[in-house]
Amino acid sequence: MSAQTILEKTGESLSARRVFSEPIDREGVTVVLAASVRGGAGRGEGSAADGAEGRGRGVGEGLGIVARPVGAYVIREGKVRWRPAIDVNRVILGGQLVALGGLFVARILLRQSARREIGRGLMLLNRRAQLKRLMRRAAKRAHLA
């Protein structure tokens, strides 16, 4: 297959017919579905370099197209409205990412809170130890006096 043939097939595949459907008429309402279409094509050829084990020549080519629905134009009584398609998988993935981010933030906040509490506890222990020392000194002074 030549490069020209690949380009022609790519052009046919990425036409407006792939993006917009034929109008669908039902009970006075016309609907035109819309999709996002992306694609690409490639071709390559080569041969083994001199001195390489084995000799040969190769040719490869490919065409890839991805389409997903994005919505529909609804025409009713001469008015056109756009109705976006909802990709439930993307909505679920977005919710999972938000929840995961929330868990990381909660983890950070809990760690900071625990560190503050540990610091307060150590301060209280230190103050208690200081008070005990002061009381012992005071008791010794009172005993000596």
pLDDT, one tens digit per residue, over 38-48 is 877 777 887 76
**Pairwise CA distance, residues 54 & 122, whole Å:** 74
Name the phi and psi angles at 78, rounded to 5. 80, 0
Which tokens sit at 59? 């040719």
Is pLDDT above 70 for 54? Answer: no
| Mean of pLDDT over the chain | 81
Most confident of 11-15, 74-78, 97-101: 97-101
pLDDT tens track for 118-130: 777 777 777 878 8
Run of H or E residues at 21: none
CB count in 10 Å sphere of residue 34: 17
**Pairwise CA distance, residues 135 & 129, whole Å:** 10
Q: Do β-strands 29-47 and 57-76 pair in parallel, antiparallel, or remain unpaired?
A: antiparallel
Name the phi and psi angles at 51, rounded to 5. 90, -10
- Which residue matches tokens 């020392």? 133
Which tokens sit at 7? 């380009």
What pTM was estimated for this model as a whole? 0.47
